[in-house]
Amino acid sequence: MNVIEATGITKIYGSKTVVDNVDLKVKKGEIYGFLGRNGAGKSTFINIINGIIKPTSGSFKLLDEPNLKKVKHRIGVLPDYSTFYDSLTAIDHLKYYAKISGYKVSTEHCEYILKRVGLLEHAHKKAGKFSFGMKKKLGIAQAIIHNPDLIFLDEPTSGIDAESGLNIQKLIVNLQKEGKTIFMTSHNLHEVEKICTRIAIMKNGRILNEGTLEELRSHYMSSIHVDIKHSPFPQKELILKFLETVGRDIKTTENRTSLVVDSEEKIPLIIRAFTKHKIDIYRVNVHEPSLEEIFLNDNLDVVAK
């Protein structure tokens, strides 16, 4: 089941196209990472499918329902900047938000949610005294207090300390294990690489690339760097001639060889050749591009979905 299904979403302001004919599907139980530089159109797209602004054209369904009003109570949202009432405590906020979402929650349940986000010790403190990081945690608590099926998290770990960030990452993974679907943005690419099941990269209002991390790497890896630690070559010239047929940028020392190949299928050929010439292989390191390298690559092509 697709819990998010967007078709041809476009938003135009004057002469500027902010979101350009975006198709996107998110399956139930995914942690979907939505990436893009500032101005890429991410926030506008999210605001459209959350019903905050209307698209110029296109349509979408959330939780298999085209009428957003019918499923809003099943959706939780953490905006990039949450606004709170200074005079209300953390528990007061959760009870109020649950009520306007159609739920009545106990103090015990509020405390349970605050414990999950690392805010239990501040349960009765007024939000006016909260730091930015504490408000971020309260915003996450508000997004999940009514036990939603679909959760939108905009920069869930920005502005909080490293330990709290790791705890929030664990919470997101646990929410997924509970059957919830998470759609999140983050400038922390290591975080996205670590916990997201699929990732979309947006630029200039369009999705340039989308898939699992392995699929993105496979699309990006036209040049694979291979480093091999081995015993000395018995016939160096013969081995070098072979390596020139399978790769480029070849560098060798007495017990280490590095080269660049255009596909991973070349790697077992190299290993078999070394073994055939009785060269012991101690270690093979293959460099895979990180999400940061993929994200910063301006030459990504659009991938057909």
- What is the tens place of the pLDDT at every residue in 222-266? 678 899 999 999 888 888 999 999 999 999 988 999 998 888 889
Paired residues of 36 in beta bridges? 202
d(CA 17, CA 278): 61
Instruction: Identify the three-state secondary structure at position 2.
Output: strand
Q: If you average pLDDT over residues 78-82, what whole number do you get?
A: 80
For residue 225, the model assigns a pLDDT of 87
Q: What are the tokens at 85?
A: 């009432």
pTM: 0.77
Q: If you average pLDDT over residues 172-195, what whole number do you get?
A: 93
Q: If you average pLDDT over residues 44-56, what whole number do you get?
A: 93
Mean pLDDT of the chain: 90
No. of helices (H) and no. of strands (E), the chain: 10, 13
Look at 80 and 279; give whichever has higher pLDDT.
279
Asked if 151 and 181 touch (Cβ cutoff 8 Å), the reply is yes
Is pLDDT above 80 for 297? no
Residues in CB range of 202: below 8 A, 6 or more apart = 22, 34, 35, 36, 40, 41, 42, 45, 208
Is pLDDT above 90 for 9? yes
d(CA 205, CA 44): 9
Q: If you average pLDDT over residues 179-199, what whole number do you get?
A: 92
For residue 296, the model assigns a pLDDT of 66
Q: Name the architecture of domain 222-287.
A: 2-Layer Sandwich (3.30)
For residue 303, the model assigns a pLDDT of 40
Look at 210 and 175; give whichever has higher pLDDT.
175
Q: If you average pLDDT over residues 279-294, what whole number do you get?
A: 83
Instruction: Identify the three-state secondary structure at position 290.
Output: coil
CA terminus-to-terminus distance, the chain: 17
Asked if 118 and 167 touch (Cβ cutoff 8 Å), the reply is yes
Is pLDDT above 90 for 79? no
Following DSSP, what letter does each residue of 109-157 receive, concatenated?
Answer: HHHHHHHHHT-GGGTTSBGGG--HHHHHHHHHHHHHTT--SEEEEESTT
User: Look-up: residue for tokens 């369009």?
Assistant: 206
Sorted by where each begins, the domain ranges of the chain are 2-83+148-218, 222-287
Find out if CATH 3.40.50.300 is the number for domain 2-83+148-218: yes
Burial class (CB in 10 A: 0-12, 13-18, 19+), 62: buried
Q: If you average pLDDT over residues 143-147, what whole number do you get?
A: 95
For residue 264, the model assigns a pLDDT of 83
- What is the tens place of the pLDDT at every residue in 88-126? 999 999 999 999 888 899 999 999 999 999 999 999 999
Percentage of the chain surpassing pLDDT 90? 69
Structure confidence at residue 304 as a pLDDT band (50, 70, 90): very low
